[in-house]
Structures are given as C-alpha cells and as structure tokens.
Amino acid sequence: MDVSSMIEPDAAAATGRMLQLPSRYIRFGPFQVDQQRQEVSKSGSRLKLQGKVYQVLIALIEKQGDVVTREELRVRLWPAETQVNYDANVNTTVNKLRQALGDSSDKPLYIETVPRKGYCLIVPAEFTDAPLAAAVAPAVRSSATVHELQKPENGVRSDLWIIVGVIALILAGMLVGAGLTRLWIANFAQQSITPWP
C-alpha cells in the first residue's frame, strides 16, 4: 500500500522518498488504522483525526521504536515555502494526536517525547490485510457485557457489607447503651442503699 497518496503532494515530494507500509490495516493497542480510508478507530469507534494529525501517526508507525525527528515531521507536514511557526505547529499536532489516543506526555502509553530530538511510538504495531474480525468485536462486547453483569453482583456484595456494618454498629450501640444503663442503675441503687448523713 503506497502511503504517499495520503500525504499532501508537496510534503511527499519534500521527503524525496516513496513511503510504503506493508498492509492496509495497522493495529496498535486498542487502535486500528485503515490506510485506504485514512481512518483510525478505537475498539470499533472511529476517531476524528485531522490530516496532519493522521500524517504524524503514520510517520510514527513507519519508524516504530525509532525517533521521528521534529525536522522529519516539519518536512512531511509543510512544504518548504510554507511560512509557519514549525515548532509550535509540530507541538500542537502531536498534542492533538496524543489527545485523540488518550495519551499524555507525562505518562506516555503510545507516544514518547525524546527531548530535543522528536517523538517515538513505544508500542509495537501489527500489520495485516484483514480488518479486525467481526467475530472479535462481539467477543469484546460480550466480555464487556459479562463485566457489566458482574457489576451488580459486586454491587450486591458491597451493599450487603454496608448492611452488615450498619447492623453491627446498631448492635454495638445497643450493647454500650445497655452497659451504661446497667452501670447507672447499679450506681443509683448503691447510692439509694447508703444512708444519708
């Protein structure tokens, strides 16, 4: 699959190379990239990625595990004659990608910042010509359904513990109250037996 068709013509020419990824679909973590449709989905739900954000993702996948320099991203995203603040725009574009993936720069799950160099995709990507099987999607849904069905049981268990705790507190209060009442009665009875001077 020729990925250069996904890149703006000026940017593809600027790279001076034909970009090729081996398969139509790319998977990493819960994400699937459909290169032909230029779509990214997470667990079956389509993510909205702008063109340059998508291109950054593809650049990171192409060099997975290796650093994609800020200069490589600049050349890929903007033609040489474009007048923009490249540093700010690269930062913004990578941050939009992180936001779409639910990632953060502080505790990266997918994209790691390499200080003063660039960025690196830190999860392995898997290439395939077949989309995520339809049989797998219901399995994911059914496991979620099982998880949801387990929640009421867990909720019932926690409710049961709350009820047992409340009953235990009531019984403890009653015992303390009975003990104090007994002490008060015993003390009052002893005072009433003792003659007054």
Domain boundaries defined on the chain: 3-128, 133-197
User: What average pLDDT does the segment 17-23 reach?
Assistant: 57
pLDDT at 155: 55
The whole-angstrom distance between residue 85's C-alpha and the CA centroid of its chain comes to 30
Architecture of domain 3-128: Orthogonal Bundle (1.10)
Mean pLDDT of the chain: 76
Choice between 12 and 164, residue whose per-residue pLDDT is larger: 164
User: What average pLDDT does the segment 28-55 reach?
Assistant: 88
User: What average pLDDT does the segment 152-177 reach?
Assistant: 80
> Residue 5: pLDDT above 50?
no
d(CA 16, CA 173): 81
pLDDT at 157: 66
Backbone angles phi, psi at 50, to 5 degrees: -70, 165
Contact predicate 69/118, CB 8 Å: yes
d(CA 71, CA 87): 9
Which tens digit of pLDDT belongs to each residue from 75-128? 888 877 777 777 788 888 899 999 999 998 889 999 999 998 999 999 888 888
